[in-house]
Amino acid sequence: MSKGFLIIGIILLAVITFGIVNIVQNYQTGNELDYYLLKETAEAAMTDAVDVGYYRLSGLLRIDKEKFVESFIRRFSENVSNSRTYDIGFYDINETPPKVSILVKSETAASIEGEALDVSNKIDVILESKYLDNKYVTNMTRSGKLDYSEVDK
């Protein structure tokens, strides 16, 4: 009789262990996927939101806030899991120089005593250019075809 209870106890312990491992794996995998999705989506949305006209005139990078938020929400919503709820917060959006701070909170499908596990990822993205000056604007200004001396005023 005691061997039967021992086997039942071992099976019960194995089931509980598998359940805990599944919850921890869901939490860790969700965190990693959310982070990389947040990173790639923010970079792509910033590239989409670059104001090309301003760059051509001044040689400086600038993003449009509304276009960035629209592009980010659209891209993020296309790639998320339907089994989780997401809360997106934009904490800082600078147009010049282009910098954004985003916090994404999500709840896992698993819950303990009615409380869902929260996953939070925050990222700060700065868009930089490797060019120190815009050759197109410099050549056009030197030839006398353009006068953009008061662009930033």
Whole-model pTM?
0.67
Q: How confident is the model at residue 86 (pLDDT cuts 50, 70, 90)?
A: confident
The CA–CA distances, whole Å, from 98 to 15, 58, 126, 136 equal 51, 15, 6, 21
pLDDT of residue 96: 82
Res 53: pLDDT: 81
* Angle (CA) 78 82 85, round 5°: 100
What is the tens place of the pLDDT at every residue in 17-51? 888 777 766 666 667 788 888 999 999 999 899 88
**pLDDT for the residue numbered 54:** 80
